[in-house]
Amino acid sequence: MTIRRMFFLFWTTLVLGTVTAPLVGFLVGGIVGSVGLDMISQLWAGIMYGAVAQMGFFCYLIFNMVAKGFIRNPYVYQAIQLFLTLAILWRTFGVSSGKSGFNGLGPWILPATILVVGLIVAWFKVKATHSMAFIPALFFMVSTTVLEAIPSLDQESLPIIMQMVLTLLVCNTWQVMQLHRLVAPISEKSKQRSQTSKPGS
């Protein structure tokens, strides 16, 4: 991934977070209750969510690179990712069920939302790349989103938690769907053009 592509991903994710947070806040406010923030505060929150999503994304890339160095068998690594995904979802349900504001179906809303979005994104990732991308994409969407959302999980307010989680899901979806494009090798035409431009060629 070149510096130019990294900057593209960084700024587009920030913009996406900034735009998404107020929209999600409006949507969540009409379904489960107001998030209690004015428009300016929600815009700043969106910038913060976008930055957090960026940090989580690059932490995942480093983790993935190190893990692949230790676990050479891709099927074993995918099995571990699937196990961790289920464990994180179960832990998320446990955190939700322990909050006083989550009554009735409340404890299921958060993990179910993350899982459904993760499955949809993983399906589209497979369509765009290959079948082996399903579990890694699902693992990224679940594990990274939950870890990034830890600050909001300390809150008792379901609207605030859902605003951050949904905004992070949008940002993470954008990042994981752009990854295979940004790390794609230079085309043969570009290679030939660069070779002809070399001195003495």
Q: Is the pLDDT of residue 93 over 50?
A: yes
Q: Is the pLDDT of residue 186 over 70?
A: no
| Range in 37-41, 92-96, 116-120 the model is least confident about | 92-96
- According to the 3-state scheme, what is the secondary structure of 148-193? HCHHHHCCCCHHHHHHHHHHHHHHHHHHHHHHHHHCCCCCHHHHHH
HSE toward the beta carbon, residue 190, CA cutoff 13 A? 4
Q: What is the mean pLDDT of residues 156-181?
A: 91
What pLDDT is stored for residue 101 in this prediction? 57
- Could you give the 3-state DSSP secondary structure of residue 33? coil
| Range in 3-7, 39-43, 86-90 the model is least confident about | 3-7
Q: Which of 126-135, 152-161, 175-184 has the highest mean pLDDT?
A: 126-135
What pLDDT is stored for residue 162 in this prediction? 87
What pLDDT is stored for residue 156 in this prediction? 73
What pLDDT is stored for residue 187 in this prediction? 46
Q: Is the pLDDT of residue 67 over 80?
A: yes
Q: Is the pLDDT of residue 152 over 90?
A: no
Q: Are 186 and 63 contacting, i.e. CB atoms less than 8 angstroms apart?
A: no
What pLDDT is stored for residue 99 in this prediction? 61
What pLDDT is stored for residue 103 in this prediction? 61
Collect all residues with Cβ–Cβ distance below 8 Å to 17 and sequence separation of at least 6: 46, 47, 48, 49, 50, 51, 53, 167, 170, 171
Q: Is the pLDDT of residue 136 over 80?
A: yes
In the chain, where the domains are located: 3-181
Distance between CA atoms of residues 108 and 124, nearest Å = 24
Q: Is the pLDDT of residue 197 over 60?
A: no
